[in-house]
A and B are shown apart, each in its own frame.
Chain A
Amino acid sequence: DQQVKQNSPSLSVQEGRISILNCDYTNSMFDYFLWYKKYPAEGPTFLISISSIKDKNEDGRFTVFLNKSAKHLSLHIVPSQPGDSAVYFCTGETSGSRLTFGEGTQLTVNP
């Protein structure tokens, strides 16, 4: 049972444009959703989160939107920079700080 799903394995955008990464989930018990960013040969690093009672959270160039009725969230990066090229994981958090990860989306930002 894939509780968190990222349907796009890869995404390529031009520098300066918007990157939109999508995520769908099935578990209504998630309290928080988090996005992690991962560079090759490194561990994932926390990027941004959103509470299940919110519909938007913004942090600089990064904004996460949550649509609970559709069980869908998205991460917007504006403007995209070459240093944003990485794998992005969508995760859902349940009580006890347990994270459930999606499969990841490889973002490539072309100069």
Chain B
Amino acid sequence: DAGITQSPRHKVTETGTPVTLRCHQTENHRYMYWYRQDPGHGLRLIHYSYGVKDTDKGEVSDGYSVSRSKTEDFLLTLESATSSQTSVYFCAISTIRSYEQYFGPGTRLTVT
């Protein structure tokens, strides 16, 4: 198994509060991704990173920001959580040479 952990695994928060999700890898892979999974939509890319301090937006980036100060950590922040951000969030990693992505176990976030 690829060494990817996500924390927390579950979180309940209130509308308007900031939330940060952490993805940690031990594989030293260059690329890291954040997705959200919602019924009827599959997985949708929020943001991705192609190196330390190098990030770019995905298809559903509004309301989210990311940071990558170290190769092993990729943080996803919801500045002011809304109920529409209730979802399961997955982190993934990949190497520069491979299209294959390895996924973490997911974080279930509920915004009340």
A residues neighboring B (CB under 8 Å): 4, 6, 31-32, 34, 41-46, 49, 89, 93, 96-104
Contacts and interface: CB of A to CB of B under 8 A. Distances in A.
A104 B41 CA distance: 8
Secondary structure type dominating chain B contacts: strand
Contact of B104 (A43, A96, A97, A98): A43
A48 to B, nearest CB: 10
Given A41-B106, A44-B103, A99-B43, 20 more contacts: A4-B42, A6-B42, A32-B99, A34-B100, A42-B106, A43-B104, A43-B105, A43-B106, A44-B43, A46-B100, A93-B99, A97-B94, A97-B96, A97-B101, A98-B45, A99-B45, A100-B45, A101-B43, A101-B44, A103-B42
A98 B43 contact: no
Contact of A34 (B31, B90, B99, B103): B99
Interface residues of B, number: 25
A98 to B, nearest CB: 7
Contacts of B84: none
A97 B42 contact: no
